[in-house]
């Protein structure tokens, strides 16, 4: 059996504009059609099987599809990948090919930040195979292809990320095809109850479950703790604010992570570049309060340009992972120049499209900031920060996660019936979404 087509370029980061794309194809392939959101953008007819795909000027969730054909125009294989949506931090593919009357399995992997692999494991029907580290391949023993076989691969990376892939071949199976469920964030109106709320292109959508999952808040902190400390707690004389009001700033039941507004550029093995917005690890909101988060947690100094809008987009993608209730909070300080590749308006549209609420706080809002980011909440005093924290908690409290029977791109088009108890987050045009806009 031969894998006729595989992506060598995996777009694990956020991308827009022209991007290089490389494919691996079998000798049987004579033409490859490239589709973007179902529309043909390129046809390749010979080696090298590579091109440039233009994803457009703005961040948008996209589906990139490659279709391989033989000399008679018969479809041999198709592969697709989602772009600008939450994906694993590392992805792994198993490519089968025939070489000198033998079947060769080759592993292709890519890590979001190009972390080094620590271990590689490949099994055939439960038995371990030795992978050549130079070629990332192994020649399979002779097999009865009338029977079904399972290749399982696992790559562990230096940062602890684990990439896994399973390929079923032989018999009547070509590959494993899992049922596809997508996590969609909804706001809930507890006073209403309605079944079959959600529709896709006018048709009812099956909802496998609605859950109150863990909440995740990504903070993009624009300035240094000393700036916020000077505004919020003054010179620091006398008892601290947190000692006088110990619990009003906490985020119970939520996971919290700070994202740096500056990026590290990492090149991958397939000539793509990812922007990594470093920051804190994930913190427990029961133990971490917003005052401490702003005024005491220090970050490594960086001379790289500030890219707050790009960091907001990266934080939103992180918030999508794992089916969490979610929000992103941008905290603005002295508003240093923004060197982002995407402007605030386009990033706001992107977050609305993918259903991640954006909340903007500032210790000194200006008309320029509001023009760029929309409504800005003042947090320049402890009572103001308390009110903003309360509103953030309420925003997450009203969210639920619905597991819907739709792929991630189609799920972006979900709507709710007028009398529905649930409304898609950040995509509701009327006042039933007002809690997300409350300032």
Q: DSSP string spanning 191-216?
A: T---SS-EEETTEE--EEEEE---EE
Cite the beta strand spans of 61-204 per DSSP E. Answer: 62-69, 75-83, 90-99, 102-111, 117-124, 127-129, 137-139, 149-157, 162-169, 182-188, 198-200, 203-204
What does the pLDDT read at residue 435?
A: 33
> Can you tell me the mean pLDDT for 410-415?
90
Q: What is the pLDDT of residues 246-261, one digit of tens each?
A: 578 899 989 999 998 8
CB 91 within 8 A of CB 12: yes
Q: For the segment 360-403, what is each residue's pLDDT rounded down to a tens digit?
A: 999 876 788 888 898 899 898 889 999 999 999 999 999 998 88
Q: How far apart are CA 114 and CA 106, in angstroms?
A: 19
Stated as kind and residue range, the H or E segment containing 373 is helix 367-373
Alpha-carbon distance values, 434 to 86, 157, 189, 235, 419 (Å):
26, 43, 12, 37, 16
Q: Note the pLDDT of residue 432.
A: 30
Tokens for 210?
A: 């609605």
Give the whole-angstrom CA distance, residue 12 versus residue 137.
23
Distance (Å, whole) CA 39 – CA 242: 56
Q: Supply the pLDDT for residue 91.
A: 76
Task: Give the tens place of pLDDT for each residue, 275-322.
Answer: 778 778 889 998 888 988 888 877 666 778 889 999 999 999 989 887
Supply the pLDDT for residue 436: 34
pLDDT range class, residue 424, cuts 50, 70, 90: confident
Q: CA 324, 329, 330, 332: dihedral to nearest 10 degrees?
A: -160
Say which residues have a Cβ less than 8 Å from residue 418's Cβ, sequence separation at least 6.
none
Indicate the length of the chain as a whole number.
439
Higher pLDDT, 364 or 214: 214
Which tens digits make up the pLDDT trace of 17-66? 999 999 989 899 999 999 999 999 999 999 899 999 999 999 999 999 99
Dihedral sign computed on CA atoms, order 401, 253, 358, 309:
negative
First to last CA, the chain: 60
Best-predicted range by mean pLDDT among 51-55, 90-94, 154-158, 171-175? 51-55
């Amino acid at each position: 059996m031969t894998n006729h087509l595989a992506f060598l370029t995996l777009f694990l980061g956020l991308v827009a504009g022209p991007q290089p794309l490389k494919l691996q194809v079998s000798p049987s392939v004579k033409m490859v059609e490239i589709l973007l959101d179902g529309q043909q953008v390129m046809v390749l007819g010979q080696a090298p099987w590579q091109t440039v795909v233009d994803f457009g000027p703005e961040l948008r969730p996209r589906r990139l599809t490659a279709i391989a054909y033989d000399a008679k125009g018969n479809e041999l294989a198709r592969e697709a990948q989602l772009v600008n949506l939450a994906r694993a931090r590392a992805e792994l593919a198993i490519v089968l090919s025939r070489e000198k009357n033998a079947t060769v399995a080759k592993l292709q992997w890519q890590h979001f930040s190009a972390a080094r692999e620590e271990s590689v494991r490949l099994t055939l029907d439960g038995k371990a195979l030795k992978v050549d580290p130079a070629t990332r391949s192994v020649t399979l023993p002779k097999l009865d292809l009338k029977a079904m076989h399972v290749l399982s691969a696992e790559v562990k990376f230096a940062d602890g990320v684990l990439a896994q892939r399973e390929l079923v071949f032989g018999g009547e199976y070509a590959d494993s095809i899992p049922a596809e469920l997508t996590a969609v964030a909804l706001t809930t109106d507890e006073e209403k109850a309605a079944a079959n709320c959600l529709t896709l292109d006018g048709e009812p959508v099956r909802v496998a479950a609605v859950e109150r999952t863990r909440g995740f808040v990504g903070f993009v902190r624009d300035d240094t703790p000393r700036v916020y400390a000077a505004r919020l707690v003054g010179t620091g004389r006398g008892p601290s604010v947190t000692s006088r009001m110990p619990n009003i700033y906490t985020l119970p039941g939520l996971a919290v992570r700070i994202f740096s507004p500056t990026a590290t550029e990492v090149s991958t093995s397939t000539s793509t570049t990812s922007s990594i917005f470093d920051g804190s690890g994930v913190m427990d909101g029961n133990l971490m309060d917003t005052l401490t988060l702003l005024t005491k947690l220090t970050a490594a100094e960086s001379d790289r340009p500030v890219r707050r809008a790009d960091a907001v987009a990266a934080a939103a993608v992180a918030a999508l992972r794992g089916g969490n209730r979610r929000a992103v909070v941008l905290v603005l300080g002295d508003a240093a120049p923004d060197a982002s590749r995407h402007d605030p308006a386009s990033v706001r549209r992107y977050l609305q499209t993918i259903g991640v609420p954006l909340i903007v706080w500032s210790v000194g809002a200006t008309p320029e900031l509001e023009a760029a980011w929309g409504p800005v909440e003042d947090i320049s005093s402890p009572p103001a920060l308390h009110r903003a924290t309360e509103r953030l908690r309420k925003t997450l409290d009203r969210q639920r996660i619905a597991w819907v029977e739709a792929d991630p791109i189609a799920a972006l088009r979900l709507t709710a019936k007028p009398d529905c108890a649930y409304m898609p987050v950040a995509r509701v045009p009327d006042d039933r979404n007002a809690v997300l806009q409350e300032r």
